[in-house]
């Protein structure tokens, strides 16, 4: 009888042990699966970027592991500094984004306080329901765009890197008076450089092997050909006088004659203003111009020049004011010693945001 009980207990304990082993293995496998499942969930993946990189200040690791792309005109050192300035001492949050580029199934935005810092794009596992990082990129709110206007043929560098010819686009000339032969003009080109980490990059240029002056107006940089000072002074003088007279005339604060005396009356620009019935007038009893600047003086030939005129035009109406930012490229012709405005054009906008 005792022998039968002994066999029974041996079988019993053997079955119990086997069950416990299977249970333990099952629990380990289940724990591993749950942990893997959790780690592959979208918000977990994005939060790990915050905890593993941003909170630790590991911007170098972030750039390397997420393969963040830096403009060919910038450096990794600038990227680290931009990230540090954007996130240090701030509270992080994540938000789902409806924008999904090709190759991504989900998109999230990492914010530091209210500022967007990173766009993170996820793709589904080929097998299973989890996600992996497809790629990440800096928010466009951290990136800058500059515009460089230069004579065709000028050699330009941005932060020491040459700007290739395929980034330079020809600019159109305005309608020209018959006294100017377009074949004699040196056209200008515009290079739009996007994805920069600073809107004050180091820009240098040479024309025919000689260093050229580069001037800045906000995020627009102009490479100038050498211009005789006396000629340049006359060009900028008539350009700003015509611009101020034009702004006053369009608000019925100045006469048409005050404007027209500066213009070539044979041009479409002059004729359009002369025949225009559209006046941008708000009720007011006075006006003032502030912060007038003339920049980007450009020479196309001995008979055609341009410059950029900007100022704040403010209308006064009791305690109320209405302000408008005047910003035009003013083209000036030179015929012997006679200077006339032939056109005004709005600068090209170079904004680039999310």
At 351 the pLDDT is 47
Which residues belong to CATH 3.10.450.540 in the chain? 144-345
177 confidence band (pLDDT: 50, 70, 90): confident
**pLDDT at 150 exceeding the cut of 90:** yes
Backbone φ, ψ for residue 298 (5° rounding): -130, 140
Q: Are strands 320-335 and 144-151 parallel, antiparallel or unpaired?
A: unpaired
Total count of residues recorded for the chain: 354
C-alpha distances (whole Å) from 298 to each of 108, 213, 302 are 45, 11, 11
DSSP labels for 157-190? EETTEEPPGGGEEEPPP-PPPTTS-GGG---EEE
Of the candidates 294, 307, 310, the residue with the CA atom closest to the CA atom of residue 334: 307
At 100 the pLDDT is 81
Which range has the top average pLDDT, 156-165, 289-298, 315-324?
156-165
Q: Among 14-18, 123-127, 315-319, name the one with the lowest average pLDDT.
A: 14-18
Helix (H, G, I), strand (E, B) or coil at 70: coil
**pLDDT at 291 exceeding the cut of 50:** yes
The fold of the 144-345 domain, in CATH, is Nuclear Transport Factor 2; Chain: A, (3.10.450)
Helix (H, G, I), strand (E, B) or coil at 131: strand
C-alpha distances (whole Å) from 234 to each of 126, 170, 225, 251, 303 are 69, 27, 16, 26, 13
34 confidence band (pLDDT: 50, 70, 90): very low
226 confidence band (pLDDT: 50, 70, 90): confident
Domain 39-141 sits in CATH 3.10.450: yes
Q: How many helices (H) and strands (E) does the chain have?
A: 7, 17
**pLDDT at 9 exceeding the cut of 70:** no
For the chain, the average pLDDT equals: 85
pLDDT tens-digit profile of 232-241? 999 999 999 9
**pLDDT at 129 exceeding the cut of 90:** no
At 28 the pLDDT is 62
172 confidence band (pLDDT: 50, 70, 90): confident
pLDDT over 90 for what percent of the chain?
A: 43
pLDDT tens-digit profile of 339-352? 999 999 988 654 44
Whole-number Å distance between alpha carbons of 119 and 96: 10
At 225 the pLDDT is 81
């Amino acid at each position: 009888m005792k022998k039968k009980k002994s066999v029974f207990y041996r079988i019993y304990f053997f079955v119990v042990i086997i069950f416990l082993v299977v249970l333990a293995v099952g629990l380990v496998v289940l724990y591993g699966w749950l942990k893997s499942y959790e780690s592959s969930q979208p918000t977990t993946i994005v939060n790990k970027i915050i905890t593993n990189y941003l909170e630790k200040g590991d911007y170098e690791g972030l750039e390397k592991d997420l393969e963040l792309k830096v403009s060919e005109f910038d450096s990794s050192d600038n990227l680290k500094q931009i990230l540090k300035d954007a996130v240090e001492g701030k509270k992080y949050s994540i938000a789902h984004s409806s924008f999904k580029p090709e190759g991504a199934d989900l998109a999230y935005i990492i914010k530091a306080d209210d500022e967007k810092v990173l766009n993170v794009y996820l793709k589904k596992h080929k097998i299973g329901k989890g996600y992996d990082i497809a790629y990440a990129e800096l928010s466009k709110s951290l990136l800058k765009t500059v515009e460089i206007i230069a004579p065709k043929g000028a050699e330009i560098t941005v932060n020491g890197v040459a700007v290739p010819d395929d980034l330079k686009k020809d600019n159109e000339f305005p309608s020209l008076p018959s006294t100017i032969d377009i074949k004699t003009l040196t056209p200008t080109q515009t290079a739009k450089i996007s994805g920069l980490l600073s809107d004050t990059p180091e820009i240098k240029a040479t024309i025919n092997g000689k260093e050229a002056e580069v001037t800045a107006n906000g995020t627009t940089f102009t490479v100038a050909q050498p211009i005789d000072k006396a000629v340049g002074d006359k060009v900028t003088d008539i350009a700003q006088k015509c611009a101020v007279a034009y702004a006053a005339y369009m608000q019925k604060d100045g006469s048409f004659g005050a404007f027209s005396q500066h213009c070539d009356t044979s041009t479409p620009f002059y004729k359009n203003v002369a025949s225009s019935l559209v006046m941008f007038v708000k009720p007011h009893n006075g006006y003032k111009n502030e912060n007038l600047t003339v920049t980007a003086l450009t020479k196309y030939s001995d008979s055609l020049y341009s410059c950029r005129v900007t100022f704040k035009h403010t209308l006064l109406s009791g305690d109320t004011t209405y302000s408008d930012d005047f910003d035009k490229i003013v083209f000036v012709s030179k015929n012997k010693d006679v200077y006339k405005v032939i056109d005004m054009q709005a600068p090209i906008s170079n904004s680039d945001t999310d």
